[in-house]
Amino acid sequence: MVNDHGRRWGFLTSHAHVLLAIARDPGIRLRDIAAHCHIAERTVQSIVADLEHADYLSRERRGRRTRYTLRLDGMLHHPAEAHLSVRELLDIFPPHQRGDDEEDGPARTGSLRGLL
């Protein structure tokens, strides 16, 4: 969205966009997150490190790929949302339907409940 001053802004932070991308595909590559979120790959690396440091996710190397595990019961940090869990944030957004050519399991068609 562009405001009256010509500045672009949105309701979700880049951290939220990265978290959503990982929730939709735990085996997603950093470059694919960057393309999906319209941010630089280096920015994605920094955000993933932030999310890992804040204990919202963990990562595990599987060969040449990385698989992410979200900690859905972690609480949001901002005081206005501190009563909400990551799970509750992600449940607001519809799950992404994955294509047949993608790895790492079947498409998720329901909410994120029950993943962890």
71 and 23 in contact (C-beta within 8 Å)? no
Residue 2 lies inside a defined structural domain of this protein: no
Task: Name the residue among 107, 30, 18, 114 with its Cα closest to residue 64.
Answer: 30
- Which residue range forms the structural domain that includes residue 33? 14-91
Q: Is residue 101 part of a domain?
A: no
Residue 112 belongs to a domain: no
Q: Which of 41, 42, 43, 35 is nearest to 14 (CA)?
A: 43
Buried b (16+ CB within 10 A) or exposed e, 91-113: beeebeebeeeeeeeeebeeebe
Average pLDDT value over all residues in the chain: 84
Share of the chain above pLDDT 90, in %: 68
The answer to the question of residue 100 being in a domain is: no
pLDDT higher at 46 or 107: 46
Residues 23-36, mean pLDDT to the nearest whole number: 97
Q: Is residue 43 part of a domain?
A: yes
Would you state the pLDDT for residue 9? 84
Write out pLDDT tens, residues 38-95: 999 999 999 999 999 999 999 999 999 999 999 999 999 989 999 999 999 999 988 7
Instruction: Report the C-alpha gap between 27 and 1 in whole angstroms.
Output: 30
Q: What is the dihedral of CA 98, 1, 80, 21, to 10 degrees?
A: 20
CATH number of the domain encompassing residue 30:
1.10.10.10
pTM as predicted: 0.76
CA distance 15 to 77: 12
Is 109 contained in some domain? no
The reply to whether 86 falls in a domain is: yes
Domain count, the chain: 1
* Sign of the alpha-carbon torsion through 32, 35, 36, 41: positive
Question: Residue 61: inside a domain, yes or no?
Answer: yes
